[in-house]
Chains A and B, each alone.
Chain A
């Protein structure tokens, strides 16, 4: 029953299975631990992407401030790790031992009150989930109830991203300022920088990402999902049918924030620091870019999008940095103008790619479609994914 709800069609199931296979088996087998750790970092943006699929793709709300929730989740985790890293013995050379180093540099003599709860791991974990959700709920409720939407919502959330990043930047003593919270080494005494820890954290990240993806698919494929799409396409009709549009929007905004917050926490665990430059205007828009490139309607697409764009970013900015922004800007314009449903939309049956490839397929394989002996596992996985990803978009059509 649940299975039927999660995957509307066989193709939809196959695409998710292929993604799982790629993340759980193929990448860890093929990549050295350093690269795997990088992919783990990219996947944390996939969390934001999954949230944006619900929020933007399904419900039509474009938030340019998702980095804020990603960042708050990350900061909650980073604050706990920082307090653990600054025990009185390690920090005994400071004038006030036992507080984080940047506080000591800024002449603080005791821990600010809002840091106190983060001494406890369960509290920090709860905060990772609850603080972004609560903030999104308050912001969303205030705005959606007054029917702030569309463009205005985008601009206001962007301003909020600027406020939060400037605010963190400007209060060095309390937040670590521009450098952020750095030098995070252990989680409950467990060295998070060791090879085994990086593997474990990668798998934990993948596990939670796939879980969030399933939750998003569950919402998309139940009645809630249809209400969201209806709100996107014909808001007033939904309102006249007796649905509370503001509440639905607030719910999906808060949910997207929650998922992004979890992503932020995993970012901190895998990368080892958090700073305001990761959550301001530019990163927040980049998160929208990942989602748009991957496919704003498709959960699998959004996750792949965050992998593809970030991989491209790392590869190109290492090799030919001058061209990277041209490429990214160009890709983005092209995606928005010609392929609004992103990679996933291209690959769906009847989409651009499949119509272009049809004659070649017929020529190469006859009518029977691609043969089985493709040899390379990755190619196979990508093919599987590509054929079926966009089934998720069927509902909306």
Chain B
């Protein structure tokens, strides 16, 4: 093996890590808002991702059946639709269920688990038990080939770009808009925010619904990488929570850093060990670190009440 090949392996391996990073980031972002900022454990988060994925699948079959010529263009629209649907459902769930449970965080965990069961079965009833893949537009297939040995898949680049865009959007939203200001105020001191006239209930509902909407975008993005089944949401949920907790729950940028760290560690370990063992080693590593540093890597400096 010469230096050139070694370099190619290095580049491709690095890209595999970055690709995993964008996946973890997309999973974690919505949760960073819902769990990190609001302290609500939404175990149905994975099912909201699946909702986004199924929305994309639905759009693709619709377009394929009725307007095959639009096939190259439907995907961005599907992502928007995935966001809107998930956000709407999220707002409904907040209204019907979550808002009654803010005082009992452990119980939101259990109730949203019940919700996730219902959502899974709904997917199974509507779309069937087997995994589905939408017909992707041509421009998402294939790969870049900067040299002969290097092979960078375009869908990976797409997911990465989307992840970065969503992160950027969320950061701007949180730190540069009036609503973000209200959200941060509510997180820091709910009573005081109420006193200065912030409608904290509305803030809660919007934050939860935007978090779910981001999960929907994530789900739509994941259809470019893998297939979707009724229970694929449950595959993501532990990873998503670990990303958020590991980054220091209330810190949005901490989640980005932890997604990057976890992704690189996992892809390197998976290169040297085999898949499952790499995964186990990464999880073990995170759990051990969390045991010694329960506040996560980048704890926020807010005083707890």
Contacts and interface: CB of A to CB of B under 8 A. Distances in A.
Interface of A: 60, 62, 139, 142-143, 146-148, 150-152, 154-156, 158-160, 162-163, 166-167, 169-170, 281-282, 285, 288-289, 292, 322, 324-326, 328-333, 336-337, 340
A329 B115 contact: yes
B111 A333 contact: yes
A147 B304 CA distance: 14
A143 B295 CA distance: 12
Interface stretch (B55-63, B73-81, B146-154, B272-280): B272-280
Contact of B114 (A150, A156, A322, A329): A329
A61 to B, nearest CB: 9
Interface in B211-257: 234, 237-238, 241-242, 245
Given A166-B276, A170-B277, A337-B97, A154 B291 contact: no
Interface stretch (B9-17, B158-166, B168-176, B281-289): B281-289
A154 B294 contact: no
Interface in B92-140: 97, 100-101, 104-107, 109-111, 113-118, 120-121, 124-125
Contacts, number: 115
Given A281-B234, A325-B120, A146 B97 contact: no
Given A159-B238, A166-B279, A333 B125 contact: no
B88 interface: no
B107 A162 contact: no
A337 B280 contact: no
B114 A336 contact: yes
Interface string B287-304: 100111010000000000
Interface of B: 39, 41, 97, 100-101, 104-107, 109-111, 113-118, 120-121, 124-125, 234, 237-238, 241-242, 245, 274, 276-277, 279-280, 283-284, 286-287, 290-292, 294
B292 A146 contact: yes
Nearest to A164: B280
Given A148-B291, A150-B106, A159 B115 contact: no
A329 B121 contact: yes
A288 B274 CA distance: 33
Given A282-B234, A325-B121, 18 more contacts: A62-B109, A143-B291, A146-B292, A147-B294, A148-B290, A152-B294, A155-B241, A159-B241, A281-B234, A289-B110, A325-B117, A326-B117, A328-B117, A329-B115, A336-B111, A337-B101, A337-B111, A340-B107
A166 B125 contact: no
Given A142-B291, A159-B283, A292-B110, A170 B276 contact: yes
A378 to B, nearest CB: 28
Nearest to A331: B114
B121 A159 contact: no
A148 B114 contact: no
Nearest to B237: A281
Contact of B39 (A62, A151, A330): A151
A169 B276 CA distance: 8
B105 A332 contact: no
A326 B286 contact: no
A358 B283 CA distance: 53
A323 B133 CA distance: 26
B291 A151 contact: no
A328 B287 contact: no
Contacts of A282: 234
Contact of A333 (B97, B234, B290): B97
Given A167-B280, A330-B118, A281 B106 contact: no
Contacts of A167: 280
A282 B117 CA distance: 10
A122 B284 CA distance: 31
A144 to B, nearest CB: 10
A155 B296 CA distance: 13
Contacts of A322: 121, 124-125
Contacts of B115: 329, 333
A170 B279 CA distance: 10
